[in-house]
Amino acid sequence: MLEVIDVQRRYRGGRGTGPLTLEVAAGEVLGVVGPNGAGKTTLFNALCGVSDFQSGTVRLDGRELGRRLPAEACGFLPEQSRLFPQLTARQACRFEAAMRHLEVDEDALGEHLTRFGCADFRDTEVRHLSQGMIRRLGIACAFLGAPRVVVLDEPLNGLDVEGVLLFRRALADYLAGGGIALMSSHILSVLDEVCQRVVLLKDGLVAATVDVREGSAERAYLDAFGVVGGSSGS
């Protein structure tokens, strides 16, 4: 289980996130949505060590970890790609492995790239890839080494139908193995399909937690934020 306890990251002017507390069980996807500026990106970045929480505690499987997940335990797909444009897809995965202290041999890396639909462009530089290809590669990097936790910020952005299907299959396999996932998406129907619960953030705080097995993420969003005629929750 992942426990995020009373974490907070606030910027000058009050924007940011927290204090908030979340729990995500093994085999579960927790959806995180809210309007622009709700604190979702701040939460994800701090949890994965891109920035830092100013207070609070992160606990994984009962172990105190301080204020972030360790690199080797966390795969992160940010909303905006951070892949270096001069690297090939294969090199980008190797760089990800090095940053997360993973050992991945060439055969395993080739199989991993194939699984995520990246085999045909494994030796192509990122700057020459389409948006959909870059998104596939980012997802492949996030799942590299089967981390204990994956944090997925708008994973479907730019994906074609095949890419979406590959992602859904990989996520299902990951969860079946006891993985833990946090995921945002502006396509709320996707959260209904893959999540057990969805947290609605407002001004960096938890406005509501919805069991989407018993209701609709879109309806909960409309109820919480009073939006009429829309379902955007990025």
For residue range 90-140, list pLDDT tens digits in order: 999 999 999 999 998 999 999 999 999 999 999 999 999 999 999 999 999
Domains and CATH numbers, the chain: 2-81+148-225 (3.40.50.300)
**Would you say residue 233 has pLDDT above 50?**
no
Q: What is the pLDDT of residue 215?
A: 67
CA distance to 15, 19, 152, 190, per residue, from 8 (Å): 11, 5, 20, 28
Range picked from 24-28, 186-190, 192-196, 203-207 for highest mean pLDDT: 24-28
Distance CA 155, CA 34 (A): 16
More confident residue, 224 or 185: 185
More confident residue, 104 or 147: 147
Query: Which of 11-20, 98-107, 168-177, 209-218 bottoms out in mean pLDDT, i.e. has the lowest?
Result: 209-218
What confidence category does residue 41 fall into, taking pLDDT thresholds of 50, 70 and 90? Answer: very high
